């Protein structure tokens, strides 16, 4: 008897919905993208974590949480401050599903 993959040919988003993890995966992907951009810009502008935390008026541990690829619990205010420090502007948009 031939086994078939019920997800073969379906959209990956459909699989994530069926597994009830779409929102979690999307949030993690967005956070990881932001962190990678921040790290790249910190390196480009020679900004250490300590210097970044001082400029943002936050603790080093708070900055470590912001730069943690797996921690999606971050405030918009923190993201905006971090973006400004590296010379960027945070833009958020909503689109249709």
The 10s digit of each residue's pLDDT in 16-75 is 788 888 889 899 999 999 999 999 999 999 999 999 999 999 999 999 999 999 999 999
CB atoms within 10 A of CB 31: 20
Q: What is the pLDDT of residue 2?
A: 62
Alpha-carbon span 55 to 42, nearest angstrom: 12
CB contact set of 52 (below 8 Å; sequence gap of 6+):
42, 63, 82, 85
Q: Which residue has the higher pLDDT, 66 or 8?
A: 66
Domain ranges in the chain are: 12-85
Tens-place pLDDT, residues 33-43:
999 999 999 99
Return the CATH number of 12-85, one of 3.30.2310, 1.10.260, 2.60.40, 1.25.10.
Answer: 1.10.260
Is the pLDDT reported for residue 1 higher than 60?
Answer: no
Q: What global pTM score does this model have?
A: 0.80
């Amino acid at each position: 008897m031939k086994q078939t993959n019920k997800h073969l040919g379906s959209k990956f988003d459909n699989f994530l919905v069926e597994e009830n993890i779409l929102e979690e995966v999307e949030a993690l992907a967005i956070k990881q993208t932001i962190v990678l951009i921040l790290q790249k810009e910190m390196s480009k502008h020679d900004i250490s974590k300590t210097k970044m935390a001082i400029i943002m008026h936050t603790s080093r541990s708070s900055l470590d949480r912001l730069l943690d690829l797996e921690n999606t619990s971050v405030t918009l205010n923190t993201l905006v401050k971090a973006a400004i420090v590296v010379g960027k502007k945070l833009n958020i948009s909503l689109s249709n599903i």
